[in-house]
Amino acid sequence: MAPVSALSDTGALCYYIDMFITPHTSAAIWISTKVTDPVLAFAFGLISHFILDIIPHGDEDIGSHKKTKRGRFIYMMKVATVDVILSVVLVYFYITRHQDYNRPAMAGAIVGAWLPDVAWIVIENFKMTALYWYIVWHGRIHNAFNWRYSPVYGVPFQIIVTLLILKVSY
């Protein structure tokens, strides 16, 4: 999941989590089945990340039930850990069932699909203020439609998107 920055009403930078990484991973797997050039796979992985981020995904309020900032952070880190583990499991199951997969293309697509969120985390956690424009820009992509819905609908939606992408990958 990618952290989404927001300035609180006091002006302090805070974040919440938005979009699971698992759909991005499934898109990377699919890309690696269509593209053999690792540089091109990286580029398509990067593009696919932002395309998926444009789609409203309904997980913006995950953790909002926690009363404290620390409680929200701990909850979100647990959710993010499960998300990353699921992504690794997706890749593992794919590569163990497809011995002929293109390793460089798979690596390129995954790096491209994950890089936008990793960059966000690095920029925010290391307080690289000169690069905050990227966080604002990426946040605008997430909110392109300015439409939100409950995690009750958003989480199943992302699971369905992930499964559909995986279905066309096999």
Buried b (16+ CB within 10 A) or exposed e, 110-138: bbbbbebbebbeebbeeeeeeeeeebeeb
Name the residue range of residue 54's domain. 2-169
pLDDT digits (tens, 9 = 90+) for 127-140: 999 999 999 999 99
pLDDT digits (tens, 9 = 90+) for 62-110: 778 888 888 888 888 898 899 999 999 999 999 999 999 999 999 999 9
Rounded (10°) angle between helices 22-34 and 103-125: 150
- Which pTM was predicted? 0.83
pLDDT class for 158, splitting at 50, 70, 90? confident
Q: How many domains does the chain have?
A: 1
**Range with the poorest average pLDDT among 9-13, 69-73, 114-118:** 9-13
Rounded-to-integer distance, Cα 149 and Cα 76, Å:
18
**Range with the poorest average pLDDT among 58-62, 137-141, 163-167:** 58-62
